Amino acid sequence: MSSDTERKEHKSGFPALTLGAIGVVYGDVGTSPLYTMKEVFNPAHGLALDAATVYGAVSLIFWALVVVICLKYVIFVMRADNRGEGGIMALMALALRKRHRPGQRAFITTLGLFGAALFYGDGMITPAISVLSAAEGLEVAAPSLQPYVIPITITVLIGLFLFQSLGTERVGKLFGPIMCLWFVVIGWLGARSLAQNLDIVDALHPRYAFDFMFHHQWYGFLALGAVVLALTGAEALYADMGHFGRGPIRLGWIGFVMPALLLNYLGQAALILREPSAVANPFYLLCPPDMLYLLIGLATLATIIASQAVISGAFSITRQAVQLDYLPRQHFVHTSESEIGQIYAPDVNRFLLVAVVVLVLVFQSSSHLASAYGFAVTGTMAIDTTLAFIVALDVWKWSLPAALIFLLSFLTVDLSFLSANAVKLAEGGWFPLLIGALLFLIMKTWRKGRQVLNWRLQKGAVSLKDFLAQVEADQPPRVPGTAMFLYSRHVSLPFALLKNLEFNKMIHERVILLTVETHDVPYVAADDRLQIEELGQNFYRITIHIGFTQAPNVIYSMALSYQHGFDWNPDDTYFYFARETLIPSPRPEMNALEERLFIFMTRNASNSITFFRVPTQRAIEISTLVEI
pLDDT tens string 76-124: 888 887 776 777 878 888 888 877 777 888 899 888 888 888 888 878 8
Query: Could you tell me if 543 and 530 are in contact, meaning their C-beta atoms sit under 8 angstroms apart?
Result: yes
Query: Could you tell me if 584 and 627 are in contact, meaning their C-beta atoms sit under 8 angstroms apart?
Result: yes
- pLDDT for 188 equals 96
Distance of alpha carbon 537 from the chain centroid: 46
Confidence tier at 13 by pLDDT (50, 70, 90): low
3-state secondary structure 347-363: HHHHHHHHHHHHHHHHH
- pLDDT for 242 equals 66
Q: What is the DSSP letter of 398?
A: -
pLDDT tens string 16-32: 777 777 877 888 888 89
Mean pLDDT of 356-382: 84
- pLDDT for 25 equals 80
Confidence tier at 540 by pLDDT (50, 70, 90): very high
- pLDDT for 243 equals 65
Average pLDDT for the chain: 84
Is residue 552 classed as helix, strand or coil in its secondary structure?
coil
- pLDDT for 575 equals 93
What pTM does this model have? Answer: 0.77
Strand positions, DSSP E, 519-572: 530-536, 539-546
- pLDDT for 450 equals 86
Residue ranges in 195-245 assigned as alpha helix (H)? 206-216, 218-227, 234-239, 241-244
- pLDDT for 1 equals 35
List, in order of start, the domains of the chain with CATH numbers: 15-428 (1.20.1740.10), 453-627 (no CATH)
Percent of the chain's residues with pLDDT above 70: 94
- pLDDT for 339 equals 47
Give the C-alpha separation, 575 to 621, whole Å. Answer: 8
- pLDDT for 6 equals 36
Give the C-alpha separation, 335 to 484, whole Å. Answer: 29
- pLDDT for 364 equals 84
- pLDDT for 610 equals 82
- pLDDT for 286 equals 93
Mean pLDDT of 369-394: 86
Per-residue CA distances from 45 to 196, 207, 334, 422, 457 (Å): 27, 21, 47, 15, 58
Give the C-alpha separation, 343 to 347, whole Å. Answer: 12
Confidence tier at 336 by pLDDT (50, 70, 90): low
Task: Answer yes or no: is pLDDT of 9 > 80.
Answer: no
Amino acid, res. 223: A
Distance of alpha carbon 285 from the chain centroid: 34
Residue closest to 555 by CA, chosen among 539, 544, 566: 544
Give the C-alpha separation, 146 to 144, whole Å. Answer: 6
Mean pLDDT of 176-204: 92
Residue closest to 349 by CA, chosen among 388, 381, 310, 379: 310
Task: Answer yes or no: is pLDDT of 170 > 70.
Answer: no
Task: Answer yes or no: is pLDDT of 591 > 70.
Answer: yes
- pLDDT for 8 equals 41
- pLDDT for 489 equals 63
Residue closest to 112 by CA, chosen among 321, 309, 311, 315: 321
Residue closest to 332 by CA, chosen among 94, 571, 610: 610
- pLDDT for 4 equals 37
pLDDT tens string 46-70: 778 888 899 999 999 999 999 999 9
- pLDDT for 11 equals 45
Give the C-alpha separation, 526 to 520, whole Å. Answer: 16
Residue 554, C-beta contacts closer than 8 angstroms, at least 6 positions apart: 486, 514, 516, 544, 575, 612, 613, 614
